[in-house]
Structure 1
Amino acid sequence: MDFDGLSIALAAAIAIVSLLAYLNKAEPDVHPALLEQQASVADIRKEGQSLLHRAKSIPLSSPLLTQPNATIRTLHDVWKAGLAIGASNTSMLYLLHNQGSYMVDTYAMVDRQISGFGSGLLKLTGLAPKTGVPVGLFTALSRECFIAQQALARFSLVAVPIHDLKNKALLVEVINQTKMTAIIVSQKALPLVLEALPECTSLKSIIVAGIYISPEQLKAASTHKAKLVKFAEVAYSGLENPVVPSAPEPQDVAMINFNTKSSSSKVLKGVVLTHANLVSAVAAFQANIPNGKRFTSKDRLISHFAVGDVLGTVLTASIVSVGGSIVFPTGLMKNVLHDAQASCPTVFASTPVILEKIQEALLLSYGEGFLFGRAYAAKLAMLKNGHITPSSLWDFFGLSDIRAKLGGKIRLVVTTADPIKPGTMDFFRAGAGVPAIKVYGHTETSGVATCRNIYDYSSTEHAGPPMGCCEIKLLDNAEHGYTGADQPFARGEILVRGPNVMRGYFTSTGAVSATLDSEGWFHTGEFGQLLDIGTLEVFGQTQMLRN
C-alpha cells in the first residue's frame, strides 16, 4: 500500500499532537485520596499530649525502620554495599584546583584511598582501631573529607565535624571538650588551626587536605609539638603499610556532632550519634522515595550542606549504598550553577537560602521573557492540578534553559524545613519540572524526622508526615497555651522518638536529662501543629499560627 507525502505528513502531525497532549495531561500524578491522610495515627490521646503519629507505611503495631536491608548495619556497610554493586562505577566527581574541570574516581579507586588514608592515619597518630577515638574534620565538604569519613568508619574511629570554619572559639572548645589528638583540616582553615594550637594542648597531628604547607606553618606546628603533614602523604604511607580494617558495630559511636540547633544553652553540646542512628535515618529516607523514583547506581548527588549537617551525611549514604556517585562542588555561591552544569546531578540538595538565590539568578536571566512567562504560568497551572513534568511543550520552548542550568538531568530537589520564600519550591517543581521536598529534623534525630511526600505539591508549607524511623507527638505547653486538644489542629512542643534519636550529649548528662526523657522522646524545643492530613507544620519566625 502506497502512502503519499500528504498522508505521511498528516500522520506525523497527528502523532505529534497526540504526544504533546499526553505530555501536557491534566491528570494528577497520584490520586488525591492518597494525600488525604499521610500518617498512621493513634486512636487514644494521652493527657497533655497530641495523638501519636507515624509514617503511613508503619502501623502502630509494627517496628520502626532500622536498616535499608539485612546487610547494611553501619556506615562501613553502606560503603561496602556501593562497592559491591560496581567497583568500576563512578564514585565521586571533584573539581581540579583552579582548572575548572572535574576528575572522576571509581569505587575501586576510592576504596584503595580509604584503606591507604585510614592505615596512614593510624601510623601517623599511633591511634588504635576499635577504640572510638575522636578525630576532627575541620574542612568543607570535599574529596579528602569524604575519604577521611569513610576511613574513620572502616577503623572504628569517631568523626567530629566542625561546621564553622571561621570560628576560633568554637574550634578550641570542640578540641578541648573531646581531647582530640588529630584533625583533618582544609588548607584555607589551616591558619586558624595553627592560631588555636597554643590553647589546644591535646592536638598533636594536623593533616592538611591541600597541596602546600609553608615553612612558617611547619615551624608554627613544631613549636607546639604538633605534626603537620599533607593528606596525600598520609594516604601514600598507608598504602605502603596497610592495616587490617576493624569494622564497627551498629551501637558504636560514628559521630560527635556539635552542629546542634539548640541555642537556649550557652554550653556547646556535642550530639553523640551511633552507626545504628544514622543507618536508620538512611533507611527511612530511602523508604520515603516511592517505587519508580528510588535511587539507583545511575543517580548522582550534589550537596551544598556543610560537613556538620547530618542530613548531608544521610543523603550521601543513601546514594552510596546503591552505587551512585557524589559531586563535591567548589563551595562558592557564584559557582553553584556552573558546578551543576559541569557535573549533571540527578539529585540536588541545598539549603533554602541557596535555592532562593538560584531562583533569583534564573529569573533575572529569563524571567522577563514573554515566552518564559507564558510557559511558567502554564506549568504552575499543571502543578495546581497535581502534575509535574520536565517534558511538556512548554519545557521544550519556554523553560528549557532552566533545566539546562541545573545540569539537565536533575530529578529531585531536597532541602531542609527552615523558612523559605513563598514560591521557591514551586519554581523548581514547575520551572524545572522536578519534585522538591523538605526534610525536617535535628542533629539529635540524625537530621531527619519528617519528610514532605514527593507527590504533595500543595502550597501549604508543612514539613510532611513522620519518616519510617521515628514517631512524633506534641506536648502541651501551658506558657504559650498550646494543647493537643486545640482546634482545628493539635499544637505543642514537637517530640521525636525512634532508632534515629541520639545516644546522648558528649560528657553532658544534665543536658540529656532535659531533652531526652525516660521514654526515649527527644524534646526538640520547637513548636508545631499536626494538620488533619497527618503532616507536621513547624512554627518558624516568619510563620503565623492558624487560629
Structure 2
Amino acid sequence: MTTFEPPYTVPAEGFEKKSGETAIMRHFKFADKLLSRPDNLSTLWDLYVTGNKLGGDNPFLGTRRIENGEAKEYVWQTHEEVRARVENFGKGMMKLGLTRQQVLGIYSVNRPEWTIAEQASYRQAFILVALYDTLGAEAIEYIVNQTDMEYIVASADKLKNITQLKDRLPTIKHVIIMDNNVDSIEKEHAEQVGLLVHTFDQVEAIGSEIDEESALPSADDIATICYTSGTTGVPKGAVLTQANCVAAIHGVAAVGEIGTFAQVTSSDCYISFLPLSHVFEKVAIGLHIFRGASIGYYQGDTTKLLDDIAELKPTVFCAVPRLFNRIYDKVLSGVKAKGGLSSYLFFKAFNAKKANLNKTVHHRLWDRLVFSQIRSKLGGRIRFILSGSAPISPDVMDFMRICFSAQVYEGYGQTENFCGGCMTLTDDNTSGVVGIPFPCSEIKLVDVADMEYLTSDQPNPRGEICIRGHSVMHEYYKAPDKTAETLDADGWLHTGDIGVLDQAGRLIIIDRLKNIFKLSQGEYVAPEKIEGVYQKHELVSQAFIYGNSLQSSLVAVVVPDKDNFDRWAKDRADGQDIYRSDAVKAELLKTLVEFGKQNDLKGFEQMRAIHLSSEEFSIENDLLTPTFKLKREAAYKTYSKEIDDMYSALSNGRNFN
C-alpha cells in the first residue's frame, strides 16, 4: 500500500498572496513547476506515435463481431494496422480538399472510425469538432455554421439527419460515412441537396496512393473546439490546442508514474462507451493511446453495456455516477431479494471490508467467497475505476471499492480545461472530496462575498474555485464576451463552482456560483428561475427549490399564501392540519406541476416532493439577505431534515412529504 502524508496541496512559491484569495496551490509532488509535456513530445501526434511503438503488433481497437444480430467475440485491429489507416485517412481527407486548421466534424457514437478520424485530425492539424444528438438541431446548426464546417465524418444512421438539415447548413459539402454499406436511397437524397457522399474506406484508399508527407502539427495548432451546451443560450466552443490536450493527458500519466494515481500500461484494456464528444472520454482514450493499451468499444447501446464488459473483461473502467448508482441499486436489490444465508454473508463481508477500507480494498476470503460474482459483472479484471462528470455519493464510492476490490478515483474538471482540474489519491478513501490539482494545473479560492463564502472562513477557506495551467483553453470560439467572463487577465479560469480546502489540502465542492447546479443525470438547473415560476401561482408566497448532483430530481419547501391557501386547503385536509395533510400536499404538488408545465418548465425542472412551511423566509430568521434574496445555504441547513425526509419518501415511491 502506498502511503502519502498530508498536506496534499502546497503553496506555489514566488507568488504573493492576494487579499480575498487563498495562496496558489499545487500538487504536493509537483510544487516547483507545472507540467506541460513529456520530454520531446509536444503534440497529440507525438503521444500517438509513442503509444503506437509500445503497442506494436498487440491488439489496439476492438469491436464485437455480429452474427445473425447476435454479438459474439471481440475482433481486433493491431496498433500497426491502425497506424496505416490513420495516416491513409488523413492523407485522403487532404486530397478531398481539407486543409490544416480547417474544421472536421464527427457525428457518431464511439467506434474505431471515431478514433481513427480523431488521430488523423491531430496528425494533419485539422480542427476536430464533435456533434451529438443531445445538442438538438438548433445547436448543431449553430456549431456547423459558426465553424464554417465543410466536412463531416458520420455513421450511416446520421446521413438522413444531415440531409434534412442541409438547407440550414449551407457550408457542408462532404459527408464521409463510417459504414461501407450506405442506403442507396438516402445517398441519392443527400446528393440531390448538394452533398458529396464518400465511405470511410474510399477516403483511406485515396490516401494510400499518396506518398508525400505533409508538415507535422505544432503544439500551438488548435486540436479541437469542444462545444458545451451550458445552461442557457447557444453552445460555447472551448478552443483547445494540441499543447492543452497534451498537458492534461501527460498530467494523468505523470501521477500514475509517481503513484498518486493508477498507472496505465500497454497491458491494460479499456472499455469505451462514454461519449467521445466530451473531454472526460477524450482524456481517458488519450491516456490509453499514449500508453499503447487496447481499447474495446461498446455496441452503441447502453442497455447491452454490461454484456460488452463481460465479454471484453477490461482492466480500467471510467463512468459517470448515474451508471454506478444503477449498479449499486441492482446489486443491493438482488442481495435483499435472495435473503437468508446469502444476504447474511454479503452484509457480513461488506461490513468487514468497510471497517478496514482505510487500509485496503482487498480481503483474501471475502473477495473470493462473496464478491467474485459481483466483480464478474465488470469482467473480473478491473484494476481501477474512475468516476467523473458529477459528484458521486460516498455510499456508492465505498460500495464500488468493496464489491469490485478496486481502487475507485473521482475526478473534477471542465471542458474549458480539458478535464485538468483535480483528482483523488491512491489509497485515500476519504468520501466527498474531489482530490488535488493535476500536475499541469494550480488552483486558488476567491471570496464570494454576496454568498458569504470567504477565504478567511474557519476552520477552512471557502470560495470560488479558479484554475490556471497548461490545459486551460485559450478562448471560447468567436465569443470574446463569454471568454472575458470566464478567463481573467492573469489566465485564471473561473469555474463557477464553490469549494473548500480541507485540512489535508483536498478540494471539496460545496455549491455553485449563480445558484446553478447539475442533477445526477447531467441536467443543469437554475433554481431561481423555477422558484420565480411557482411563486407566480396564487397559492404560493415563497418557494425554495433544492437539488444536487447526487439526486435525479428536485424537492421544494413552499410557504403558501396564507389567505388563498387556507381557503383552498380547508376542504382537502380531511380534518387534519392543512400544513401536515398528505392529501393537501399531494393535491398542491399536482396543481403546481401542472402550473409549471403551462409555464414551460421542463420535466427535470419540476419539483417531485413538497414540504409546507407556515413560517415565511425573512431577514429576521436569517433566510433572506438585506436585499431579500434567499440565502440558500441557510435555507438548506434550516430544512435539511425535511429535505432528507422528502428524498427518502421519493425513494420509497411517495411524491410528497
Q: Alignment partner for residue 352 of structure 2, among 378, 391, 395?
A: 378
1:124-135 paired onto structure 2 within 5 Å: 124=96, 126-128=97-99, 131-135=100-104
CA apart distance, 1:359: 2.2
Aligned partner of 1:542: which letter? N
1:191-340 paired onto structure 2 within 5 Å: 191-242=160-211, 244-259=213-228, 262-263=230-231, 265-289=232-256, 291=258, 293-340=262-309
d(CA) in 1 for partners of 2:78, 2:184 = 35
Q: Is the 8 A contact 1:38 1:534 kept in 2?
A: yes
Cα 1:208–1:366 change in 2 (3 A) is farther
- Alignment partner of 1:479: what SS? helix
CA apart distance, 1:173: 0.9
CA apart distance, 1:489: 1.8
What CA deviation, in whole Å up to 9, does each residue of 1:488-507 have, x standing for no partner? 22111111000110011111
d(CA) in 2 for partners of 1:202, 1:64 = 41
Q: Is the 8 A contact 2:21 2:446 kept in 1?
A: yes
d(CA) in 1 for partners of 2:352, 2:301 = 33
Aligned to 1:91: 60
d(CA) in 1 for partners of 2:222, 2:453 = 36
Aligned partner of 2:243: which letter? A
CA apart distance, 1:448: 2.0
- Alignment partner of 1:180: what SS? coil
Q: Is the 8 A contact 1:441 1:449 kept in 2?
A: yes
Q: Is the 8 A contact 2:163 2:193 kept in 1?
A: no
Cα 1:537–1:156 change in 2 (3 A) is same
Aligned to 2:28: 56
- Alignment partner of 1:93: what SS? strand
Aligned to 2:443: 472
Aligned to 1:73: 42
Aligned partner of 2:160: which letter? P
Cα 1:191–1:362 change in 2 (3 A) is farther
d(CA) in 2 for partners of 1:333, 1:308 = 16
Matched, 1:430 2:409: no
Q: Is the 8 A contact 1:278 1:446 kept in 2?
A: yes
Aligned to 2:471: 500
- Alignment partner of 2:366: what SS? helix
Aligned partner of 1:275: which letter? Q
d(CA) in 1 for partners of 2:368, 2:297 = 30
Aligned to 1:518: 489
CA apart distance, 1:355: 1.6
Q: Is the 8 A contact 2:61 2:76 kept in 1?
A: yes
What CA deviation, in whole Å up to 9, does each residue of 1:139-168 have, x standing for no partner? 111111000001111111110012435721
Q: What RMSD in Å do the two structures reach over aligned CA positions? A: 2.1
Aligned partner of 2:414: which letter? H
What TM-score results when the alignment is normalised by the length of structure 2?
0.74
d(CA) in 2 for partners of 1:294, 1:305 = 21
CA apart distance, 1:224: 2.2
- Alignment partner of 2:482: what SS? helix
d(CA) in 2 for partners of 1:402, 1:200 = 48
d(CA) in 2 for partners of 1:545, 1:78 = 45
d(CA) in 1 for partners of 2:333, 2:293 = 33
Cα 1:303–1:545 change in 2 (3 A) is farther
Aligned partner of 1:111: which letter? R
Aligned to 1:12: none
d(CA) in 1 for partners of 2:257, 2:82 = 30
Bigger mean CA deviation after superposition, 102-111 or 302-311: 302-311
Q: Is the 8 A contact 1:51 1:484 kept in 2?
A: no
Cα 1:295–1:208 change in 2 (3 A) is same
- Alignment partner of 2:451: what SS? coil
d(CA) in 1 for partners of 2:248, 2:391 = 22
CA apart distance, 1:258: 0.2
Cα 1:353–1:81 change in 2 (3 A) is same
Q: Is the 8 A contact 2:108 2:154 kept in 1?
A: yes
Cα 1:446–1:221 change in 2 (3 A) is same
Q: Is the 8 A contact 1:349 1:413 kept in 2?
A: yes
Q: Is the 8 A contact 2:107 2:158 kept in 1?
A: yes
1:325-364 paired onto structure 2 within 5 Å: 325-364=294-333
Aligned to 2:645: none
What CA deviation, in whole Å up to 9, does each residue of 1:402-438 have, x standing for no partner? 1111111110101115132341111111111101111
Q: Is the 8 A contact 1:162 1:307 kept in 2?
A: no
- The runs of 5 or more residues in structure 1 that have no matched partner are 1-28
- The runs of 5 or more residues in structure 2 that have no matched partner are 512-546, 550-631, 638-657
Aligned to 1:456: 428
Q: Is the 8 A contact 1:119 1:242 kept in 2?
A: no
- Alignment partner of 1:258: what SS? strand
Aligned to 2:378: 406
Cα 1:538–1:152 change in 2 (3 A) is same
CA apart distance, 1:30: 4.0
State the number of aligned residues.
Answer: 506
d(CA) in 2 for partners of 1:542, 1:110 = 43
Aligned partner of 2:248: which letter? A
Cα 1:141–1:151 change in 2 (3 A) is same
Q: Is the 8 A contact 1:344 1:406 kept in 2?
A: yes
Aligned to 2:9: 39
Q: Alignment partner for residue 360 of structure 2, among 371, 387, 393?
A: 387
What CA deviation, in whole Å up to 9, does each residue of 1:171-194 have, x standing for no partner? 111100100100111223322212
Q: Is the 8 A contact 1:165 1:189 kept in 2?
A: no
Q: Is the 8 A contact 1:206 1:228 kept in 2?
A: yes
Aligned partner of 1:409: which letter? R
Aligned partner of 2:35: which letter? L
Q: Is the 8 A contact 2:159 2:190 kept in 1?
A: no
Aligned-residue sequence identity (percent) comes to: 29
Q: Is the 8 A contact 2:280 2:389 kept in 1?
A: no
Bigger mean CA deviation after superposition, 371-380 or 306-315: 371-380
d(CA) in 2 for partners of 1:242, 1:187 = 30
Matched, 1:490 2:461: yes
Q: Is the 8 A contact 1:311 1:448 kept in 2?
A: no
Cα 1:55–1:164 change in 2 (3 A) is farther
CA apart distance, 1:231: 1.7
